[in-house]
Amino acid sequence: MELMQLEMFVAVVEEGSVHAAAERVFRTQPAVSMAIRKLEDRIGSPLFDRTKRHDYLLTPAGEVLYSYATRLLNLRNEAVAAIESLIKLRQGQLRIGANESTNSYLLPQLTQVFHQRYPNIKIEAVCQHTNGLIRQLKERRLDLALLAHLPEGHELEAQPLLRDEVVLITSPRHHLAARERVHVRELGKESVIVESQPSSVSEKVVEAFSSFETTLNIRVESATIDMIKKMVAKNAGVGFVPLMCVREEIARRELVSLPVEGFQQKRTLWAVRRREGPRSHAAEAFMQVVKLEMENFRGEQPAILLVTGSDLRKRGI
């Protein structure tokens, strides 16, 4: 039983003749008649009462089949319309994963621009560490992810977005804030606030202190980036965070960023997705938005990215 056969059958019922039905479905009259016969053979019962030659009255079996056939054809039409809407981005869902830094300081900007263009696409955002996001990508639970760290052997299609760096931040009231720069060894007596593990930032901090045989006094080790910023602003310690997460606070003089000798951590932010398998049209459209916005973002970055203690002194702060 084929949908085309059902469509011809419904057309005969609703048009009242094989001739009119053939014109409606763009088939010949013999083709329509043959489709009706095949349906009757398949069902094992006549669909029309043929006691009156030109009256296409339905038999009980025909009435049952007509009821189901119309519903099937309507479902077919709904499915086609839904797929067309997905292709033309009039509806759909997009599942995006992100690390804490990209989730809080990059994804909002991207989703805002994306929704301006495609307001009916629902975005589901998942915030997790890198390994968890990569696992969800491979399990097809995410369409794409924005990562601050790309481990080796990831087996994903990766597109670089922009460059960032990890910086040391202090309160303007901290005794180191007036310094031009500090060395990792000078931080051995400081209370350090870092992201929770696993974190690529925390790992790099631990490696740097270890390489100089310097004690790392972690004050809080399960902090979010927002908590780190708030605690540092209250002079509860110093912290290591991605620069993109503190640009505004540095510009407002709420935090100070100091260069650290022995610790220079440049990093690349990545958009990643599976290399194989089908890709949603929404995901493709989001990637195009990402490319355009990152080009704009790189062009708008300020020339001076760090505000150091010497900057504060020069400005009388």
Q: Place domain 92-161+268-300 in its CATH homologous superfamily.
A: Periplasmic binding protein-like II (3.40.190.10)
- The total of other beta-carbon atoms located within 10 Å of residue 200's CB is 21
Domain spanning 3-87 has what CATH number?
1.10.10.10
Contacts of 228 (CB under 8 A, 6+ apart): 169, 193, 194, 195, 220, 239, 241
Q: Domain segments of the chain: what residues?
A: 3-87, 92-161+268-300, 165-266+303-314
104 in Cβ contact with 35 (< 8 Å) = no
Q: Which stretch of DSSP H or E encloses residue 137?
A: helix 130-138
User: CB–CB of 190/168 below 8 Å?
Assistant: no
Residue 139 to residue 44: CA distance in whole angstroms: 46
Each residue's pLDDT, cut to its tens digit, for the chain (317 residues) gives 899 999 999 999 999 889 999 999 999 999 999 999 999 999 999 999 887 776 788 999 999 999 999 999 988 888 887 777 667 677 788 899 998 888 888 888 889 999 998 888 889 999 888 888 999 988 889 999 998 888 777 788 888 888 888 899 999 999 999 898 899 999 998 999 888 777 778 888 888 889 989 888 887 776 688 889 999 999 999 999 888 889 889 999 999 999 999 887 788 888 898 888 777 888 888 888 888 877 765 555 443 333 444 444 444 44
Distance, in Å, from the CA atom of 244 to the CA atom of 80, rounded to the nearest integer, reads 44
CATH architecture of 165-266+303-314: 3-Layer(aba) Sandwich (3.40)
Tell me whether the CATH fold assigned to 3-87 matches the one assigned to 92-161+268-300.
Answer: no
Q: Which residues contact 4 (CB under 8 A, 6 or more apart)?
A: 25, 35
Beta bridge partners of 95: 124
